[in-house]
Amino acid sequence: MTPAVLRRAEKHLAAADPVMAHLQTALGPCRLSVRPDPFVTLCASIIGQQLSTRAAGTIRARLETLLGGPPTAVSLVAADVEALRGAGLSGGKVRYLQEIATRSLDGRLDFTALWTLPDTDALACLTEVPGIGRWTAEMFLIFGLGRLDVFAPGDAGLRRAIRTLYGDDAPPDAVSALWAPYRSVASWYLWQHIDTD
């Protein structure tokens, strides 16, 4: 996601949707970026499932303290389950994180291969892994792989922003169709709107 690509996306969104034009004026340029480590990004998505941004951040910080840095496949597999739970992770999330770590180590979850797959194939590959549902996979495509045209219709924040900006009866899929092929950038603007609202 280069600045030039983001500016092109902003122009497209502003031309396609007056609400997006307004959000750009209010919020400024899109600062969506790809996180550098796909493994850490996927772990963060698992940790953040059904939690507020603040709660997820607290747990991530505790996990990094426990592991002596950002999670790695090796450190997660070696970590004591009770210590991970003590950092604030549920038993299910501990299992999911350790499964992702194991699959990363044995090659069943190949982050290099995910970069080359089309969005639908990458989603299918990710959702085969226990603990990775559609929302988690969509967040990973946006923040881990930098995919530009991903919309997560199940995301509570996006749904709330659409209701607020487009009306209670606006169907998220129909609204998001206006934004293709830059639905990830539009999503960023909606999340920023919710965070500043």
| Residues that are catalytic | 155
126 neighbors 136 (Cβ within 8 angstroms): yes
Instruction: Pick the closest to residue 94 from 77, 74, 111 (CA basis).
Output: 77
Q: Return the amino acid letter for 12.
A: H
Q: Which helix (H) or strand (E) holds 181?
A: none
Residues contacting 128, CB < 8 A, separation 6+: none
Structure-derived torsion over alpha carbons of residues 132, 136, 137, 138, reported in degrees to the nearest 10: 160
Tokens at residue 165, please?
A: 């900006």
Distance, in Å, from the CA atom of 131 to the CA atom of 71, rounded to the nearest integer, reads: 17
CA 110 to chain centre: 18
